[in-house]
Chains A and B, each alone.
Chain A
Amino acid sequence: MADVLTFTKRGIYCAAGDFYIDPSKPVERALVTHGHSDHARSGMTRYLATRSAKPVIQHRLGPNAVIDTIAFGETRQIGDATVSFHPAGHVPGSAQIRVSVKGEVWVASGDYKTVDDGLSEPFEPVPCHAFITECTFGLPIFNWTPKDILARQINDWWATNKAAGRFSVLGAYALGKAQRLLTTVNPDIGPILTHGAIEATNIVLRNQGITLPQTIPVTPELNVHDHPGALILATPGAMAQPWGAQFGPDVSTAFASGWMALRGQRRRRAMDRGFVVSDHADWAGLNTAIRETGATKVFATHGYTGSFRRWLAEQGYDAQIVATDDPADA
């Protein structure tokens, strides 16, 4: 039987339906798992994404991008392929894409996490013959902090800083991570300020009905010192730039990422604190997700592919590596 999906220079390709999944080069028809820039790129003639992923993708790609939408679980015939989108739990609207051709079912996971973040549609295992899995954190050293402990860690850090008259500057990616932090922290502690890139995403998500706590965007007109002890959500890039200097020397800095599980990474970031929070699956999450698909064939992409493939092969899977040269978000 011919492969349902193949791996090309332009991305994951389905010959039966003549479309690509998360292509890296301009193509006619792109099925896009979610709005992160290593998945939703500009230059495609037509896009297909979930209804809840579309607003962010449109915001990022501009008004001229032609984006069709599909509901989670809805099937659609494209050429000889039947496709459907299923929650990946990564960011709001993020999907795994199921492609079925003549009874053979393949699933491309995109980015995913198995724990419910209370914001994204929770991950659902999709039975399939072949599963294309990311493995950004595909080593047994990555085991995420339980949600309640994480919330306590961040709230304690913020409250302590506030009591000492310091700002708390927390670095996080604009889409997904930032909003997850917003719904994790206790907004009663104090005001929450946001960097423009994060606030722009907040607005898009609020418009599609997602509830986020009140935030104050940091604009040139805003005097940040009117909000003493505030929590400031910043993109990693902004923290390093002059933007970060406006809060003065009396700040505590922290970064939220799966990489913060590693002491060496925490020290390299040179932040005061590192919180272990990721929108990708941890070791247990990856293993559980793969097992629950029932797939016998697994393709590892994005991450520790060498180690993870070998591990899967030893677990009895027909495991292969998909080479990509794109840096993944984490």
Chain B
Amino acid sequence: MKAAADLFARLDDPTGPDAKIAALLGYFQTAPDGDKLWTVALLSGRTPKRIVTANQLRAWAIACAGLKDWLFEDSYRVVGDLSETIALVLPPPSRHENHSLTHWIKTIKRLSRMDEETRKSAILNIWDGMPAAERFWFIKLLTGGLRAGTSESLLIRALAQLTGQDEPAITYRLNGTWSPDTTTWHNLIEASDPQLALSHPYPFQPSQQVENIADLGNPAEWQATHAWGGARCQFILRGGSHALWSQDGALITDQVPELAPLRDFLPDGTVIEGALRAFAGDAPLGADAVHARITRKKITKAMRAETQLVLIANDLLEHDGSDLRQSTLDIRHKHLKNHLTSTPDQLPLRLSSAVEFASWSDLETQRQTARTAGADGLLLRHRDSPYLASKTMRWIWNAPPLTVDAVLIYAQAGPQSRANLFTEFTFAVWNGQTLTPFTRTSTGLTDADLAELSTWVRKNTQSKFGPVRQVTPTHVFEIAFDDIHASPRHKSGVALRFPRVLRWHKDKPVTEANTLDDLKDMRATYG
């Protein structure tokens, strides 16, 4: 297990993605197939069932190391992680048995069928053959706590490099309910799979932010639709089955079961590009509701009852099995419209309707009110442009952000590297005579602002809670954000998307800050 433990440690080190991918490649080039398969399973969240609790292991370790309970507790307080403390306090191993990862996972499965006494002596015996670095990961395996979190996307990149396949192919292969007991390394990663090519998405057309709208030229040459904040995605229907890909490369077919019925109404060989929007009945929800759904592993009935996802179609990339990307937007849009008018209205598929305008100033008016429609702004595409052009033909014109004036009430010290600065700030609005916190950010503040504020915070601290300081309400900031929605988890009852500081109102008295009622009005209008 040495090689696997080394790999997990390298993935756990605070290094950049390149070093982690290099570690993965090094491992995959040398490990046996069985271990590679299990490593892929573990790193994609397919951990074996937990067979002991961390507390049982803790008791066994204390007895084995001849420690006292209080001394273990003192140690745990210093270490901060139970599995790690257990791994560290155990006496040095008397031998080193370097078995494969697969061997240990099989052993763990066998242990699950033993009674507790036998299991205990077996585990103590295993520990005695492992150095602390391996024990730590072995304990994580035993307790079902081996999660590598963010490394799944790195895993996909590494496997793509290793096998010469592209990332969507690997993503597709790792998707679903397989386990190392039901497949092999070859079948999962290497074997040819006809469905693989069929599920493939096209590269997404890149977009750019509009800075000066007049630069786009003649308004008549451009088509405008609303730009939706939810996930941009491609719906692919080929060979009788469908796949849904998000722009960041995730396969989210199973996360959006609402779209499965589209198979029965759209012709085979259809690829639609669009954005997902979330609704609760007829009421639109924010982009965060979309995100919450598509990042879940399993979708329950309750989640589907709570939010329904709808695909807002923007573009048609494949029509009757032929690639449409070289056709102009007008042609693609015509075909898309035909599809949508021939499908029943109750399907969770809608056309992103065109925003009509005669001049740029006309469109500017529409941009100002885009947020009332639940959009982030406007999407502009050249009518004659192919899907992938040599220069940008897809522009996002953001609606002005929503803003409130808020009072700074808490400041939090930065990480060790910036320990002399306060780098996180909590802002509040008036709720009667009291200030209710509603957001925390530091985005938008310059280094000079941070330095000035930090000096001020130090002199105006009322009380301290750990790294957080409560300050005398003095400064008013204009806070901008893209979206606001109800959130029972927050004291204010609202949560913001992408809050940032727009400006520091040095001359504004705190009494002129906005109120919680103002925020609630915004939520009712834009949320």
Contacts and interface: CB of A to CB of B under 8 A. Distances in A.
Contact of B79 (A262, A267, A311): A262
Contact of B84 (A140, A263, A271): A263
Interface in B410-428: 416-417
Interface string B46-75: 000000000000000000010110111011
A310 interface: yes
B19 interface: yes
Interface string B126-143: 000001100010000000
Contact of A273 (B13, B22, B68): B13
Contacts of A261: 88
B14 A264 contact: no
A264 B80 contact: yes
Given A267-B14, A272-B13, A311-B71, A140 B89 contact: yes
Interface in B74-126: 74-75, 78-81, 84-85, 88-89, 92
A31 to B, nearest CB: 32
Interface string B1-34: 0000000000011110001001000000000000
B139 to A, nearest CB: 13
A320 interface: no
Contact of B71 (A140, A142, A262, A273): A140
Q: What is the predominant secondary structure among interface residues of chain B facing chain A? A: helix
B81 A264 contact: yes
A252 B20 CA distance: 13
A311 to B, nearest CB: 6
Which range holds the interface residue count of chain B?
20 to 34
A262 B89 CA distance: 12
Contacts of B84: 262-263
Given A263-B84, A272-B19, A139 B92 contact: no
B245 to A, nearest CB: 33
Most buried by B among A140, A264, A306, A307: A140
A266 B13 contact: yes
Contacts of B92: 143, 284
A262 B78 contact: yes
Interface string A265-292: 0111011110000000000100000000
B132 A143 contact: yes
A267 B13 CA distance: 7
A267 B15 CA distance: 10
A252 B15 CA distance: 9
Nearest to A253: B15
Contacts of B136: 263
Interface string B423-459: 0000000000000000000000000000000000000
Given A272-B13, A314-B68, A307 B74 contact: yes
B70 A141 contact: no
Given A140-B75, A268-B416, A273-B13, A263 B81 contact: yes
Nearest to A268: B416
Nearest to A156: B6
Contacts of B15: 272
A252 B19 CA distance: 9
B75 A264 contact: no
Contacts of B74: 139, 304, 306-307
Contacts of B81: 263-264
A141 B14 contact: no
Which range holds the interface residue count of chain A?
20 to 34
B79 A264 contact: yes
Given A263-B84, A307-B71, A139 B13 contact: no
A86 B132 CA distance: 33
B416 A141 contact: no
Nearest to A272: B15
B67 A140 contact: yes
Given A270-B417, A307-B74, A141 B13 contact: no
A143 B13 contact: no
Most buried by B among A252, A263, A314: A263
Contacts of A270: 14, 417
Interface string A149-187: 100000000000000100000000000000000000000
A141 to B, nearest CB: 4
B65 A141 contact: no
Interface in B350-390: none
A153 B135 CA distance: 17
Interface string A253-264: 000000001111
A271 B14 CA distance: 7
Contacts of A268: 416
A139 B74 CA distance: 8
A262 B12 CA distance: 13
Contacts of A141: 75, 78-79, 85, 88-89
A323 B89 CA distance: 26
B71 to A, nearest CB: 6
A270 B15 CA distance: 8
Contacts of A143: 88, 92, 132
Contacts of A304: 74, 78
Contacts of B14: 266-267, 270-272
A295 to B, nearest CB: 21
Contact of B70 (A262, A271, A273, A310): A310
B108 to A, nearest CB: 22
A140 B86 CA distance: 10
B145 to A, nearest CB: 13
A52 B484 CA distance: 70
B6 to A, nearest CB: 9
Contacts of A139: 71, 74-75, 78
A257 B425 CA distance: 35
Nearest to B68: A314
Contacts of B417: 270
Interface of A: 139-143, 149, 164, 252, 261-264, 266-268, 270-273, 284, 304, 306-307, 310-311, 314
Interface of B: 12-15, 19, 22, 65, 67-68, 70-72, 74-75, 78-81, 84-85, 88-89, 92, 131-132, 136, 416-417
14 contacts: A139-B75, A141-B78, A142-B88, A143-B92, A263-B12, A263-B79, A267-B14, A273-B13, A284-B92, A304-B74, A307-B74, A311-B68, A311-B71, A314-B68
User: Considering the complex of A and B, which 10 residue pairs feature the smallest CB-CB distances, nearest first?
Assistant: A141-B88, A307-B74, A140-B89, A141-B75, A272-B15, A139-B75, A270-B14, A264-B80, A267-B14, A263-B84
Given A140-B88, A262-B79, 16 more contacts: A140-B72, A141-B78, A141-B88, A141-B89, A262-B84, A263-B12, A263-B84, A263-B136, A264-B79, A266-B13, A267-B14, A271-B14, A272-B14, A273-B13, A306-B74, A310-B71
